[in-house]
Amino acid sequence: MITLALSKGRIFEETMPLLEKAGIVPSEDPEKSRKLIIGTNQPDVRIIIVRATDVPTYVQHGAADLGVAGKDVLIEHSGAGLYQPLDLNIARCRLCVAAAESFDYASAIKQGARLRIATKYVNSAREHFAKRGVHVDLIKLYGSMELAPLVGLADAIVDLVSTGSTLRANKLVEVEEICDISSRLVVNQAALKMKYEQLSPILAVFAEAVGAGT
């Protein structure tokens, strides 16, 4: 049995065309079903539905053989025991620093102010500001980061941006780009050895589909 860990929403949707190329078709739509284990047209392949941030954990411990996770999630997770053979180039966005339109971020930095930064991405944020030599107090949040500068919890946030409409709707502006983000295939290192016969054709189809060759 091969177990693939995916999160609902954009990762599931954007992984589907790749799975279809590998001849794998889920028997249910996770948006409509409440089932967390979904069978496929292949009796020895199943999909488990987990939170996006939990995908690396399931794969690391071998509860899933492979999965798809955002680079944002992988940077925050230790990545131990995970083989990351492919950038699937899906669920693309960028990790940014954003602040209220009314906050003069550039001057604050110039004056050497200590900034309060709210984010779910504490590792990425710590590394970014350390590189820039900016002193920050990091405030860990689990969602809706956009609210923090509006109610005085933080001076700025580190969050993912794709269209920019969430920032605009909350009168925030992007002040720095940290990095581009896309989702990667992650594979349990032990499973890759033990189940090589079953996994390698799937990996080959994925590689071909994203133009990485085989």
Residues that bind ligand PRT (CB under 6 A): 7, 9-11, 51-53, 70, 72-73, 91, 93, 143, 159-166, 181, 183
Minimum CB separation of residue 211 from ligand PRT in Å reads 20
Could you write out the DSSP letters of every residue in 122-178? HHHHHHHHHHHT--EEEEE-SS-GGGGGGGTS-SEEEEEESSSHHHHHTTEEEEEEE
Minimum CB separation of residue 214 from ligand PRT in Å reads 25
Q: Which is nearer to ligand PRT, 69 or 115 (CB)?
A: 69
Minimum CB separation of residue 202 from ligand PRT in Å reads 21
The tally of CA atoms less than 13 A away on the side-chain side of residue 158 is 25
Q: Which two tokens stand for residue 149?
A: 């500068």
Minimum CB separation of residue 181 from ligand PRT in Å reads 5
Q: Which is nearer to ligand PRT, 51 or 193 (CB)?
A: 51
Minimum CB separation of residue 10 from ligand PRT in Å reads 5
Which residues fall within 8 angstroms of residue 202, CB to CB, at 6 or more apart? 2, 22, 24, 66
Q: Which is nearer to ligand PRT, 127 or 180 (CB)?
A: 180
Q: Which two tokens stand for residue 199?
A: 């996994």
Q: Which is nearer to ligand PRT, 85 or 164 (CB)?
A: 164
Q: Which is nearer to ligand PRT, 155 or 159 (CB)?
A: 159
CA-to-CA distance for 125 and 40, rounded, in angstroms? 39
